[in-house]
Amino acid sequence: MEQTKIVLITPPPINIPDPQPEDDERGIGQGSRGYATYMNKKRYAEKVMEIAESYESTGKVVGLNFWKALIDSALKDQGRLGHDDAYDDERLPGCGTRTAIAFRRGYFEDGLHFDSLVGTFDLLAQCSC
């Protein structure tokens, strides 16, 4: 058991479609159920990485930040990776606010399940531990 390694993988984000001009304000953005779910997954991912970091000194636990890998990939597609506001909660890819942009076609089949652009194993291999 001394050689055991535990890999903690964060959950991926979801993709909420961009709001349309005719959408009711109550059903989009911070007040919506979709945004709450999105932000809960973000917080969960942050906690997973905190737990992994707290065990880093043991050499037995590593964390793979799949949530951030997908967000960074979308930010790169949108030309926003590295911008000061890239990780602003209101502008995160797929969060469903009027100031954000959804993931481009091919990431998610239906907002939850991955599509052809997400080579899951390739993306996981790129995650920083």
pLDDT digits (tens, 9 = 90+) for 40-90: 999 999 999 999 999 989 989 989 999 999 999 999 999 999 999 999 999
pLDDT bracket for residue 94 (50, 70, 90): very high
pTM given for the model = 0.83
Identify the domain containing residue 119 by its residue range.
6-126
- With respect to residue 1, please indicate whether it lies within any of the assigned structural domains: no
Task: State the total domains in the chain.
Answer: 1
Helix, strand, or coil here: 57? helix
What residues pair up with 9 in beta bridges, in sequence order? Answer: 64
Contacts of 25 (CB under 8 A, 6+ apart): 31
24 in a domain, yes or no?
Answer: yes
Task: Give the whole-angstrom CA distance, residue 84 versus residue 121.
Answer: 29
53-60 contacts at long range (C-beta below 8 A, 24 or more positions apart): 55/6, 60/4, 60/5, 60/6
Worst-scoring range by mean pLDDT, 3-17, 34-48, 105-119? Answer: 105-119
